[in-house]
Structure 1
Amino acid sequence: MDFVTFQRAFQESGVIELHEVQKEFPDFHARRLSDWQAKNYIQKIINRFYRWTDQPLTEQLAFYTANRIYRDSYISLWSALSYYGLIPEGVYQTYSVSTHKTKSFSTPIGEWVYKHIKPTLFFGYRIERWNNKPLLIAEPEKALLDTIYLNTQWHNTTDIDALRINWAILAEIAQPNIIREYAEFYCNQRITELAHYLIQRMSDD
């Protein structure tokens, strides 16, 4: 196969997956990808996943890539909190939660970290669009609860205050009843108590 044919078929793909290429072109030889890497047409992310080298490395592309390279995951934790403007710090890794095992990938274009959650907690995400492609990211309420849940060393309100949450933004984009409802699914007294504190601070501020 020549590169022009390949490019026409996948030019709208933010992430190129070898499985999809071989599905579209059953006689495709993976060695062609090595040739095109050498010519700087494409760049390898991890095994079986590639990107166009001339595509800007945006936050949306990082999020979409995170969704693609580790299935059954959605953006959450520090990445989602930063995306919504709820914490002041910039986040240089892309954090997700997944029903699969905890895993991380260090690649030439970034680092992706996945934290395991139980299948019963795989909810509370929204589907946004990036270049007409679905991008899964936690709702603000769920991003906060996922973060508290997975940081098991957090036990009191001082730990929550250390997050330096922008309470004004949280009150604007989140709903107390959603926090309360979602917290019940964790079946965890620590989560329930800290969720109550979130709700209290939202009303105080």
Structure 2
Amino acid sequence: MNKSGIDALKRYPVFGIKDIANVLKKSREYASLVAYRLKKRGELQEIEKGKYTFESDPFVVASWIVWPSYISSWAALNYYKMTEQLPFTIHIISTRKRKKKTVYFGNAAIEFIKIRQSAFLGYRRVGYQGRGIFVAEKEKAVVDALMAKKMSLPEAAEIIKENRRKVSIRRLYCYAKNARGLLKKLRRELEG
């Protein structure tokens, strides 16, 4: 594959065989061979079957494996510097169901959590290492972590209290309202 073809693919954080075939204007079989050769040379990394990247940072890759999706829970809170805990697992929130719930890439596990379409909100695109990634808003990251049982109520309360200036309690309660029974528990933990 020539340099212009590689440069064209580097525009995508994650791509598949179909993307390689489109860039090269060749068959899928030829694109598979190109991917195999690039992988063998160490230029290309396979995230999972049929999904590739030139990136090495799991945080850059994570929100691009499944569409639509965004990074949430502890990884998002770490991004906002609301916790010093370095997450080994990057939690990805999506409306799509996947057979494979966890993908291992680099030094991280990328875990996919399926939610209802009506709860798929409260995220934004941010710049990270020259790329656009999708990350939950601070308040939504806390609610997602609680709903997925990745964080306890006391942990959530501690994070919120320590980051009072960074967090909108009104927005937090608004997101918690969409999660069954969470608003009442969260209010009791924060105000009680």
3-state SS in 2 of match to 1:89: coil
Structure 2 length-normalised TM: 0.82
Q: Report the alpha carbon displacement of residue 124 of structure 1 after superposing the two structures with TM.
A: 0.6
The equivalent residue for 1:9 is 8
Indicate whether 1:115 and 2:106 are aligned: no
Alignment of 1:1-205 (within 5 A): 2-28=1-27, 29=30, 30-52=32-54, 55=55, 57-58=56-57, 62-101=58-97, 103-108=101-106, 110-130=108-128, 133-151=131-149, 159-162=152-155, 165-186=158-179, 188-189=180-181, 191-197=182-188, 199-200=190-191
AA in 2 matched with 1:175:
S
3-state SS in 2 of match to 1:101: coil
Q: Report the alpha carbon displacement of residue 18 of structure 1 after superposing the two structures with TM.
A: 2.3
Distance 2:102 2:139 in 1: 24
- Deviating above 4 A after TM superposition, structure 1's stretches of 4 or more consecutive aligned residues are none
Distance 1:164 1:195 in 2: 8
Structure 1 length-normalised TM: 0.78
AA in 1 matched with 2:176:
A
Question: CA RMSD of the aligned region, Å?
Answer: 2.6
88 and 194 in structure 1: CA distance in 2 versus 1, 3 angstrom threshold:
farther
Deviation sequence 1:129-169 (CA, Å, 0-9, x none): 235543111111111111112229x8xxxx42245733455
Distance 1:83 1:9 in 2: 28
Identity within the alignment, %? 18
AA in 2 matched with 1:47:
K
Q: Report the alpha carbon displacement of residue 69 of structure 1 after superposing the two structures with TM.
A: 1.1
Deviation sequence 1:74-133 (CA, Å, 0-9, x none): 111121122223334220121111112262112455321011111110001111123554
Q: Which runs of 5+ in 1 are unaligned?
A: none
1:85, 1:166 within 8 Å by CA — same for their partners in 2?
Answer: no
Aligned length: 187
AA in 1 matched with 2:123:
Y
Q: Which runs of 5+ in 2 are unaligned?
A: none
